[in-house]
Amino acid sequence: MTVDLKESVSSLRNRATSRNPRTFTIPLDNMGQVKKVSDYYGELTFDFKKSEDISDLTKREIIKALDEGQGIKKEHAEAVANAVTRWAVNLGATHFCHWFQPLTGGTAEKHDAFFSFSKEGKAIERLSASQLLQGEPDASSFPNGGSRSTFEARGYTSWDLTSPMFLIETTNGRTLCIPTAFVSYKGESLDIKTPLLKSISILSPAVTKFLQLAGHSDTTSVQVTCGAEQEYFLIDKAFYFARPDLVMTGRTLFGALTTRNQQLEDHYFGLIPDRILAFMQELDYELHRLGIPSKTRHNEVAPGQFEMAPIFCEANVASDNNQMIMTTMRRIAEKHNMMVLLHEKPFAGINGSGKHVNWSMSDNTGLNLLEPGTEPQSNLRFLATVAIIVEALHRYAKPLRMAISGAGNDHRLGANEAPPSIISAYLGDTLDKIFHTIMEDKSFTPRSNNVIDLGTNQLAHLLQDNTDRNRTSPFAFTGNKFEFRAVGSSHAIGFPMTVLNAAVTDIFVEANTFLEKEQAAGQSVDQSLMSLIKKLMGNSLKAVFNGDGYSKEWVEEAKRRGLPNLRTTPEALKTMLDKNDYSFLVRNGIFKESEIETRYNILLERYIKIREIEMETMIDMIHQFVIPSGLEYKTVLAKLIKDQKEIGVASNFEMDAYKKVSLKIDEIHALSLNLHKELSAEHHDHQKYAENIAAELMTTVTTMAGICNELEELIPNQFYTLPKYYDMLFLR
């Protein structure tokens, strides 16, 4: 049976444009009214602290054990296990799993049934205390960076009491997911959660002590808070599966840009198409049921690109939530006959996708450490906090750049549509002026009026913030938080947050020692804070940049300031080979040196594998799709030229087109053979090989993509057998 490829692409277009939005209705309450979000928010989550089936005494004992870093008693674990079993089974769950985040960047789960036998041999539904507390997945098949042999298979998962359990819902039932950490037989972390929890644990006492030294005697604990925005693309399922590059790599390896894409800036915040809005509405419903505080949705810059953003919550929970957001997006999109693309650069030439990690800290009294108040120039505790964070950013710029590295993000960082690969902070005009006046021992005069008069009575006057927003900055202060804008859209946010928490903690520890010394020498609290600000900012103001991060001038200026510019992932990963760069992670107990080495090997190997898959897929697509389309067009041209010659008609255009297509086919064929030869060679030094991929082979790939794009524009639609950017970005 032959396949009519011409009809195939045409039918894909018809299928995509004829689909109706999926009908989705929020259930009704007992009064026949549509349920409000507050009626079903968190209905699929179980938090032992809120369960009515667990006694208050047991809850207090568990919380006390948590606070003191002790293990919980077996009878308390049994009480939680019994309560969550009743809850889950009553809601239709048949299985449970330890849900964890291995070093793949995604999540993992192994399902076991709520099935056991009583002492009398009767079948019962049961989750034991030991099954709740600890699991034993095979650790040998997960990334380990050479830290263990294949036969060393044992690994452990351990229940994370600080993150609620939840139910995942599929067509034929529900499964209880128990958030867990994942470690090796020897206790080395093999996941994202364990180091994140450690970084939160060390930050709390360090920042608590700082606040107490700054006069906040009521502070007893501090937590990291986070709200991670998520950008993504949606395309019709038919187009997705017709593009092997999207299926294999998550991005289009080539494709001619449409004449109109984002130049008119009409997609951003524009009217959300019905089919997309239907997806967003169902996504919000499912996220809210999972206790994920989805708040904002809108069109993003590029056609086919969108964004959602949640409300702030505790960092560890936010990390778990973001993993569930990505998973739920994929699941809901397929119900709408669409596929969600989370790659940082699925389409060349238009805006890529990031994951802006909004980060802050708050204490047990509700104080947000990054809230400047109405007079930030007088809020020395706030200014000292900002100075500490900027110093952390400056001192540990390389590890922070490493934490956001990856093959996908390399397409985005510094590409004039995302923050540059130079790590710097944006503070805004007001804070920048305050710090400069402090360094110059001058007085800061605040604006007398921060109201924007719009010059018309019909519009409300606006209160002007102390800071504008700078979307070109990788780490921007946005009013009462910092926004880590350089994180990639597909990244697990736990790793960059771990490095950020550890970097900030390291400077807080130094600051505490300094404050204690100054206050012991007779300085007041305010005097010691002012001394600290001057000490830190005297060194780290060079890492503050409020201008255009996209400009070439900034690259040159950053070089003069001595700021690192690690352009590619292989460059950034070398940070993990230098003890001077990563020692703060070991010193603060976040990672052992062996765990640093493990992550270096895993991340480097992942970069190489991703690039090899991309290049092999490109070679295959060139020979399976691009060249055959060109040859078919040449066959038609050749016959036309021959026929016209026989009747004495000139074929200038046809001959010119024939030669152009022939030349491009020869070029792309030769380049693909050379690339295949490079990929077939043996490479013993993986670091050098990765650097060669980034510097040399990716240049070849870019050249090959350009030739493919030229052929796409030369070959008529009827002969081209792949969906184009026009199809994927505009047809829905």
Distance, CA of 639 to CA of 530 (rounded, Å): 83
Which contiguous run of DSSP H or E holds residue 535? helix 525-540
Give me the amino acid identity at 208: T
Q: Are 26 and 35 in contact (CB under 8 A)?
A: yes
Question: Would the pLDDT of 448 be above 60?
Answer: no
- Backbone phi, psi, residue 173, to 5°: 155, -175
Query: If DSSP codes are grouped into helix, strand and coil, which group holds residue 241?
Result: helix
Which contiguous run of DSSP H or E holds residue 525? helix 525-540
pLDDT tens per residue, range 305-352 = 999 999 999 999 999 999 999 999 999 999 999 999 999 999 999 999
Is the domain of 222 the same as that of 326?
no
Q: Average pLDDT for residues 522-537, to the nearest whole number?
A: 94
Q: Are 134 and 81 in contact (CB under 8 A)?
A: no
Question: Would the pLDDT of 298 be above 80?
Answer: yes
Taking each helix axis from N to C end, the angle separating 698-714 and 627-646, rounded to the nearest 10 degrees, works out to 40
Q: Are 230 and 261 in contact (CB under 8 A)?
A: no
* Burial state string for 15-47 with b = 16 or more CB within 10 A and e = fewer than 16: ebeebeeeeeebeeeeeeeeeeeeeebbebbbb
pLDDT at residue 3, rounded to an integer: 42
In degrees to the nearest 10, what's the CA dihedral of 706, 709, 715, 716?
-160
Distance, CA of 143 to CA of 122 (rounded, Å): 41
Identify which has the larger pLDDT, 458 or 476.
Answer: 476
Is the domain of 620 the same as that of 681?
yes
Residue 536 lies in a domain: yes
pLDDT at residue 320, rounded to an integer: 97
Query: In the Cβ-directed half-sphere of 423, how many Cα atoms lie within 13 Å?
Result: 25
Neighbours of 680 (CB within 10 A): 7
Is the domain of 487 the same as that of 553?
yes
Reported as a pLDDT band with limits 50, 70 and 90, residue 123 is: confident
Tell me the average pLDDT of the chain. 91
Is the domain of 26 the same as that of 174?
no
Q: Average pLDDT for residues 64-74, to the nearest whole number?
A: 86
Question: Would the pLDDT of 9 be above 90?
Answer: no
Query: In the Cβ-directed half-sphere of 141, how many Cα atoms lie within 13 Å?
Result: 3
Is the domain of 438 the same as that of 515?
yes
Reported as a pLDDT band with limits 50, 70 and 90, residue 447 is: low
Question: Would the pLDDT of 207 be above 70?
Answer: yes
Query: If DSSP codes are grouped into helix, strand and coil, which group holds residue 45?
Result: strand
pLDDT at residue 258, rounded to an integer: 93
For 621-664, the three-class secondary structure string (H helix, E strand, C coil) is: HHHHHHHHHHHHHHHHHHHHHHHHHHCCCCCHHHHHHHHHHHHH
Query: If DSSP codes are grouped into helix, strand and coil, which group holds residue 296?
Result: strand
pLDDT at residue 669, rounded to an integer: 97
Domain stop point among 525, 556, 591: 591
Distance, CA of 650 to CA of 245 (rounded, Å): 40
Q: Which domain holds residue 655?
A: 606-730
Residue 597 lies in a domain: no
Residue 153 lies in a domain: no
Neighbours of 665 (CB within 10 A): 21
Residue 614 lies in a domain: yes
Is the domain of 584 the same as that of 665?
no
Domain stop point among 302, 324, 353: 353
pLDDT at residue 493, rounded to an integer: 97
pLDDT tens per residue, range 588-615 = 999 999 999 999 999 999 999 999 999 9
Is the domain of 235 the same as that of 225?
no
Distance, CA of 372 to CA of 379 (rounded, Å): 7
Question: Would the pLDDT of 451 be above 70?
Answer: no
Residue 139 lies in a domain: no
| Token code pair at residue 488 | 């990639």
Q: Are 573 and 402 in contact (CB under 8 A)?
A: yes
pLDDT at residue 483, rounded to an integer: 95
Residue 697 lies in a domain: yes
Query: If DSSP codes are grouped into helix, strand and coil, which group holds residue 128?
Result: coil
* Helix/strand/coil percentages in the chain, nearest 5: 50, 15, 35
Is the domain of 288 the same as that of 384?
no
Reported as a pLDDT band with limits 50, 70 and 90, residue 464 is: very low
Question: Would the pLDDT of 68 be above 60?
Answer: yes
Reported as a pLDDT band with limits 50, 70 and 90, residue 141 is: confident
Distance, CA of 285 to CA of 283 (rounded, Å): 5
Reported as a pLDDT band with limits 50, 70 and 90, residue 460 is: very low
DSSP letter, residue 428: H
pLDDT tens per residue, range 232-290 = 999 999 999 999 999 999 999 999 999 988 888 788 888 999 999 999 999 999 999 99
Question: Would the pLDDT of 419 be above 50?
Answer: yes
Q: Under 8 Å CB-to-CB from 727, ≥6 apart: which residues?
A: 9, 12, 13, 16, 239
Q: Average pLDDT for residues 543-562, to the nearest whole number?
A: 91
Domain stop point among 323, 353, 383: 353
Is the domain of 90 the same as that of 225?
no
Q: Are 152 and 140 in contact (CB under 8 A)?
A: yes
- Backbone phi, psi, residue 445, to 5°: -105, 110
Burial (CB < 10 A; 0-12, 13-18, 19+), residue 651, is: middle
User: What whole-number percentage of the chain has pLDDT above 70?
Assistant: 93
Reported as a pLDDT band with limits 50, 70 and 90, residue 539 is: confident
Q: Under 8 Å CB-to-CB from 280, ≥6 apart: which residues?
A: 272, 297, 306, 308
pLDDT at residue 413, rounded to an integer: 84
Distance, CA of 186 to CA of 189 (rounded, Å): 9
Distance, CA of 74 to CA of 128 (rounded, Å): 10
Q: Under 8 Å CB-to-CB from 27, ≥6 apart: which residues?
A: 34, 35, 40
Given the structure tokens 């609290």, which residue do they identify?
Answer: 525
Give me the amino acid identity at 248: M
List, as one string, the DSSP characters of 195-223.
Answer: HHHHHHHHHHHHHHHHHHHTT-TT---EE
Is the domain of 202 the same as that of 90?
no
Residue 147 lies in a domain: no
Distance, CA of 160 to CA of 158 (rounded, Å): 6
Question: Would the pLDDT of 455 be above 70?
Answer: no
DSSP letter, residue 601: H
Distance, CA of 658 to CA of 636 (rounded, Å): 10
Taking each helix axis from N to C end, the angle separating 428-439 and 380-395, rounded to the nearest 10 degrees, works out to 90
Reported as a pLDDT band with limits 50, 70 and 90, residue 147 is: low
Counted domains in the chain: 4
CA 548 from chain centre, in angstroms, equals: 23
Q: Average pLDDT for residues 340-368, to the nearest whole number?
A: 95
Q: Under 8 Å CB-to-CB from 582, ≥6 apart: which residues?
A: 399, 575, 576, 591, 596
pLDDT at residue 149, rounded to an integer: 59
In degrees to the nearest 10, what's the CA dihedral of 410, 413, 414, 418?
150
Question: Would the pLDDT of 1 be above 50?
Answer: no
Give me the amino acid identity at 151: F
Is the domain of 19 the same as that of 93?
no
Distance, CA of 223 to CA of 206 (rounded, Å): 11
Is the domain of 30 the same as that of 48?
no
Q: Under 8 Å CB-to-CB from 649, ≥6 apart: which residues?
A: none
| Token code pair at residue 192 | 């994202």
CATH of residue 718's domain is: 1.20.120.1560
pTM for the complete prediction? 0.93
* Burial state string for 338-347 with b = 16 or more CB within 10 A and e = fewer than 16: bbbbbbbbbb
Q: Average pLDDT for residues 162-173, to the nearest whole number?
A: 93
Residue 453 lies in a domain: no
Q: Largest alpha-carbon pair distance within the chain?
A: 105
